[in-house]
Structure 1
Amino acid sequence: MKLRGKRALITGGSSGIGFAIAEAMLARGATVAITGRRSEVLAEAANRLRQNGHDVESVAADVGTEKGRQTTLEHALDKLGGLDILVNNAGGVRAGRLEDTTEAEIRKMIEVDLVAPIMLTRAALPSLRASGDGLVVNVTSGIALVAAPFYATYAGVKGGLAKFGESLRRELKGEGVQVMTVYPGATDTPMMSSSRAGPELGFTREPANAVAVAVVEGIEQDAFEVIRGGEARAKMIALNRDDPAALDKRFLDLKPALAEAVRDHSAL
């Protein structure tokens, strides 16, 4: 897909990976609408994106709610005049032991990270079909490929989103709408600011713009998926498939330090 002239809606576009994807798409000639919950942060992000004369729309709404999704989509369709690309990027996380995670935190992750992208995609499909060259981009996580301890719910919802995308890709095959799944590794974003896990625990962070460049390249190459983390991630995926017990042992050795490092990791 060529991005020039395409109309894209990016959820969670006020910061982090979503903002970087918006920047990268605008640089390729797309028109973009971003959404986020915090109106002041969103307005500032939209102004930054407009600095180079780019056409950017914004809508303050919570896609974790039915009303927020409706507002988001209606605004984007009205301002963009249609929709070619939906980027499901908004998400939240709460790390820690499952027993220490509240029901409210668990439900929030399910609603924002899984229910919201499914329902927003469902609502956007008629417009994406009308485009004739539509695309859904689901931003999941490397944890959906290799689950780490203390991220049980987050791994569950991100893994669910990945399989949702795989199934939908096959469902829409030959119908003018593609689906691409993105698996970022640890990324230097506000969402990761409360985590103290570093390279010694396998959380080597890369800039959000590096992820965004890979996403745009994947779109232009009609890729099914974009997996970040390079050779190290590929080896972990292979080990998780071929000898998961060995990976269990590796995590067992890291558990005490990892538990402490992610104890306060929360972005909901």
Structure 2
Amino acid sequence: MTAPRHRFAGRTALVTGSSRGLGLLVARELARHGARVMLCARDPDALGRAERRLRDEGADVASLSCDITRPDAPRRLLDAVHERFGPLDVLVNNAGIIQVGPLDALREEDFRQAMDTMYFAPLRLTLATLPDLRAGGDGTVVTVSSVGGRIPAPHLLPYVAAKFAAAGFSQGLRAELAGTGVSVTTVLPGLMRTGSHTAARFHGRPGAEYGWFAAAASAPLLSMDAERAARAIVRAAARRRPELVLTPAAKIGVRAQGLAPATTARLLALAARALPSAGDAPRHGVPGADAAGQSALPSWATALGDRAAHRFAQPRPHTGP
């Protein structure tokens, strides 16, 4: 008996933030199911490597180096998709930035950058692609938010604020598009082993902030294998699921937030007080690869995360002074 044709076979997909990490893996998973994929990221060198990697695996891919926060980005991306593949069928809003640190070390520009990258850019791109997605009668929008878009994790406030906004837009968009044939899936991942600790920016006391974040993002009981996450995301989108929460810890947290919000808030406050203070001379925007060299965290604590960083094209950490 012949297996049924996958919903995304022969379809055209655009995945933002797809030069590395989860975006690269989602793009690869879509291609494995027969989709044509346009990759998008800011770094042209990393993007070129990602395109060659997927093409070597047999994927039908193209790429465009693009800063999605620029107002002209949606038109540039759509023009590139149309020229190379034709009308767009699947949009995956995945691009993001992670800023780690206490409120006292943050600036207004950090919140603006987070909102521009993870809310306003996906908003503009989604609105620009809706004519294509509606015309095909079976379009798909996937928005990768975060469990931080449901639960306000401490020392991640710009990220949390932007992910809350992204999740709200995505869930509202699904209601607005009901009956049009366009399905919308909101993804709320917990920690995943993508090597994100090497690409994050750290504020306050970078070494101390890197220590807790990198350890959590690498812990096998707290974080999830990124390839398994990518498979789950594409499967949920193909099945038109409204929402996908990833990792057991994230599922427990979401349920606790819904059932006992006051208790959850008290636990989050306790966690915030246990995390590092800003210090007497807070530093700002230290890359994860540099913050690693300022941390006393032993290398074994991040072994799984560092391995994922190498596999999924993240920046390499500096483990020495």
Output the CA distance in 2 between the equivalents of 1:224 and 1:235. 19
Please point out which of 247, 252, 256 is paired with 1:229: 247
Match of 2:175 among 163, 170, 189: 170
- Higher mean C-alpha displacement, 239-248 vs 19-28: 239-248
How far apart are residue 181 of structure 1 and its match?
0.6
Count of residue pairs the alignment pairs up: 265
Q: How does 1:26-175 map to 2 (within 5 A)?
A: 26-175=31-180
Q: CA deviation at 1:251?
A: 2.9
1:244 paired residue number: 261
Give 1:42's aligned amino acid. L
Distance 2:8 2:154 in 1: 38
Q: Give 1:228 shift.
A: 0.4
Deviations 1:186-218 (A, max 9, x none): 122243325432349998222221110101110
Say which of 2, 22, 31 aligns to 2:7: 2
RMSD of Structure 2 on Structure 1 (CA): 2.4
State the SS of the aligned residue for 2:275: helix
Distance 1:87 1:143, change over 3 A: same
User: The residue matched to 2:186 in structure 1 has which SS?
Assistant: strand
1:65-112, Cα deviation, whole Å (9 max, x unpaired): 112332122111221111000000011121222232122222110100
Offset at residue 52 of structure 1 (A): 2.3
Matched, 1:205 2:210: no
Deviation, 1:242, is 2.4
Q: Which one has the largest radius of gyration?
A: 2
Distance 1:179 1:87 in 2: 10
Normalising by structure 1, what TM-score?
0.91
Runs of 4+ in 1 over 4 A off after TM superposition: 199-203, 263-267
| AA aligned opposite 2:264 | L
Q: Deviations over 1:2-44 (max 9, x none)?
A: 1111110000010011000011111111110010000000000
Give me the TM-score of the superposition, normalised by structure 2.
0.76
Structure 1 residue runs of 5 or longer lacking an equivalent are none
Counterpart of 1:66 in 2: which secondary structure? Answer: coil
Match of 1:179 in 2: 184
- Structure 1 residue identity aligned to 2:178: K
The CA deviation string for residues 85-144 of structure 1, in whole angstroms up to 9 with x for no partner, is 000001112122223212222211010000000000001111111121101100001111
State the shift of 1:151 in Å.
1.7
